[in-house]
Structures are given as structure tokens and as C-alpha cells.
Amino acid sequence: MLATGLRKGLAKQKCVLYIERFGLNAGISTGFPGVPRSKKKVFIAHGPQADEPDSLIVRFPADQPLVLDSGAAIAPLQIAYQTYGSLNEARSNAVLVCHALTGDQHVANENPVTGKPGWWETLIGPGRIIDTDRYFVICCNVVGGCLGSTGPASLNPATGKPYALDLPVVTIRDMVRAQAMLIDHLGIDSLFAVVGGSMGGMQVLEWASTYRDRVFAAMPIATAAKHSAQNIAFHEVGRQAIMADPAWAGGRYREQAQRPEKGLAVARMAAHITYLSEPALQRKFGRKLQDRAAPTFSFDADFQVESYLRYQGSSFVERFDANSYLYLTRAMDYFDLAADHGGILAKAFAGTKTRFCVVSFTSDWLFPTADSRALVHALNAAGALVSFVEIVSDKGHDAFLLEEPEFFATLRGFVMAAAKARGLA
């Protein structure tokens, strides 16, 4: 491997404090085979995460291209990732966590952009369900993302300018191919588990199909083997909202020192509604007014739900790149695992020895239980070891990111049983 691994960012004062508070020190300070353990710490307070992320990075040189489903290639390729815990001698305890559309690699540490806890810190850490005292947890930014893996915000070495729409369109399988390059680079042959929700769940399925001999256990959560017409439709609304913003400038907004903030905010607002459920919105907001006793008879955010949505929109543009939003929604739209196997989903898993646990949530209308059932039927048809749990929750699609005791218990049971079977318990 000519690639290099650099440790950055997590050395930032804020992060270190955070890590100590949560006792994650052992986790993040551990190196891995083939990569230097202690690189010079680089402090980037508000640097561009796209090229110089506050993460470990690996750069694959031009002679190791990522060949894409479209036939195009990305080279050189950069992958930004975080790890927690240590790889064991047998290299058999690696857990790959796959993030969702607007997630990132900061799954169990303070996010360097938002300052918020990692998006699954409730699940991952020492003594937690995915116990970093026992497992070596890896999470990388997907290709097409904006937190350090090559994406439309990255500099195109051929031009010295951001790729923007010159980056080839990537698919879920392309993301997973890039992850496999990282896993190879880390010297890991077989992953103990691959876990993820939503777009992360699509990656889990793609791993279990494309690299079926390298995945011992797979947990696809709140996801589907193909993106539905309604979901494509919502994504198209988001893309059109971004492209309608004159500040988008054909994707070349960075060169003009501007951002399509309004368009991206509208895209996020529309998407955010789909992540929640009607009962959750009703319970949380109902028709409650925002800091006022009576309607103003205006277009102000009279209702709390309006105020909440506007906040979701405006805070999102601070942490996410509009072009990445285009690429990642497109990747999800294109996802159709059965189509890649002659239209028969079971063929995508033929001969699999992977243990599956499929999870859905009752109020998730973006990836409803019916999608998980279809997946489970296909896995059964392929003779796979599969369990399926539908969690009762009114929190909608977002439930997989929230405190859901039944979901936590399911994950705990699955990981423990798999660890026993793998000889890790």
C-alpha cells in the first residue's frame, strides 16, 4: 500500500476534553496495523473538512483508482475515517459502521463541525452495546460526502478547483468499494459486523452481497433493498430546490465564495418531515404557537413546527455541502440490489453465510416495515440466517438515531450472539 494514514483533528482541545469525559481515550488513541500510531498533531479549527478533515485519512494514489459503476473512476481517492478500540491479534473484531445521508464518520466522538456528540455515541463506546473495549470500530465518510472522503467539495487535482459536478456520480456499491479499499488498507480480511441505518443500511446490504465472504454479521436498519418511487420523488424535490437557488451557480458556488443556503435549507426542511412521523410531530408540536399567544395573521413562524423546521434548514447548511446532497441522494435513488442480480433479490445473497438481523420501526414511512419484510423474504429464500425485528416506535425514520430501548436490546442481543459464534465472547 502506498497510502498514508494521518491522524488529525481529534487532538483538538475540545475533542480531547470530550473524549476524556466519556472515557473514550483508549478507543481513539489506539492505532492499527500498517499505519503509524502517532503522527504530528495538526490543529485545524475551522479548516475545510472536505480536504483537510479532522479525521484519520488514507489517500490512494492515482494508480489505485476507485472504479465506479458508471465506468468512470476516481483517482486519487481520499477516505476520511474514525476508529475506536483496538484490532485484536486475529484481526477478527472489526465492526464497520455505515453512516446515513447526512451523517458522517464521527459516530462516537464529538463532531468537529457541530461540536455535538457522535451520532451513535449512545451505542458505541467502552462498555456500550458496541463495546470499544472489545471491538475495533471503524466509520468512514462515504465517497461523495463532504467530511474528508473524496466528494464534490474536494479539490480536483486535475484543475486545482473543487470537483463540483465534475465528480462522477457514485452509487452505494461505489461507496462500499471504497470502504473495502480502506478495510484492505487496515489489513482486515473479514469484518465481524457491518451495521448501519437508512443509506447506511443500504451499504450494509451491498457489503453482504458484494463482499459476502468478508461479513460475519450484518444489521441493516430502517432501510430497503431498493429506493421507492416516493423516496426518489422527495429526493428530486430536494435537488431541484438546491439547483433552483441562483447561488448554486451550476455547482461552482465555492469558487464564487457563496453557498446555495436557501435552496439547501428548503431541501433539508422537506426531507426532515419525512424523517419524522405524523404522531411524533403531533406529540412534539401539534398546533402549538411559538412564543406568542395568538396567530399573527402573517407569514412569520407562528407555529412551533414552522420554527423547528426553519431551524433544521438553517443549521443544516452550516454543516453540509449542497453538491454532496445531490450526489448522496442520487446514490440512494439508484440503489436497487435486485436489479443488479437479474431482478431477483435472493440472488444478491446466494450462498451467504452472513448472520443477518433486519430492523424496522413501525412509524417509519420512508423505509416502512414492508421494505424490511421484502428483504427478509429474499434472505430466507437465499437460505440465510436471518432474524427480523419490527420495533414499535412513533418516532418515524429517525428512530434509529434515537433512544429506543427495544432497538438497543435487539442490537445488544444480536452482537452478543454473533460474538459468541465468532469466538469473540
Q: Which of 131, 364, 371, 398 is catalytic?
A: 364
**What is d(CA 106, CA 104) in angstroms, rounded to the nearest whole number?**
6
Distance from the first to the final alpha carbon of the chain? 32
Active site (annotated) includes residue 371: no
Active site (annotated) includes residue 235: no
The interface mask with its own copies, positions 30-69, x = CB under 8 A, is --------------------------------------xx
Tell me the CA distances in angstroms from 290 to 160, 191, 204, 287, 419, one per residue in order.
47, 48, 41, 10, 49
Q: How many residues does the chain have?
A: 425
Q: Which is nearer to its own copies, 7 or 262 (CB)?
A: 262
Q: What are phi and psi of 366, to 5 degrees?
A: -85, -45
Among 226, 254, 259, 395, binds its own copies (CB under 8 A): 226
Q: Which is nearer to its own copies, 30 or 314 (CB)?
A: 314
Torsion sign over Cα 407, 408, 409, 412: positive
Q: What are phi and psi of 246, to 5 degrees?
A: -55, -25
**What is d(CA 144, CA 238) in angstroms, rounded to the nearest whole number?**
17
Burial of 5 (0-12, 13-18, 19+ CB in 10 A): buried
Q: Which residues pair with 84 in a beta bridge?
A: 137
From 28-36, 43-51, 131-139, 276-284, span contacting its own copies (CB under 8 A): 276-284
DSSP assignments along 201-239, one per residue: HHHHHHHHHHTGGGEEEEEEES--SB--HHHHHHHHHHH
Please tell me whether residue 395 binds its own copies under the rule CB under 8 A. Answer: no
Query: Residues 136 to 165: which contact its own copies by CB under 8 A?
Result: 165
Active site (annotated) includes residue 92: no
Which grid coordinates belong to 143?
465517497
Smallest gap from Cβ 78 to its own copies, in A, equals 21
Smallest gap from Cβ 206 to its own copies, in A, equals 16
Please tell me whether residue 318 binds its own copies under the rule CB under 8 A. Answer: no
Please tell me whether residue 20 binds its own copies under the rule CB under 8 A. Answer: no
Among 13, 38, 256, 298, binds its own copies (CB under 8 A): 298
Q: Which is nearer to its own copies, 69 or 184 (CB)?
A: 69
Q: Which residues are catalytic?
A: 198, 364, 397
User: What is the binding site for its own copies (CB under 8 A)?
Assistant: 68-70, 72, 165, 168-169, 226-230, 232-234, 236-237, 239-241, 243-246, 262-263, 265-266, 269-270, 273, 276, 278, 281-282, 284-287, 295, 297-299, 301-303, 305-306, 309-310, 313, 326, 330, 333-334, 336, 339, 365, 368
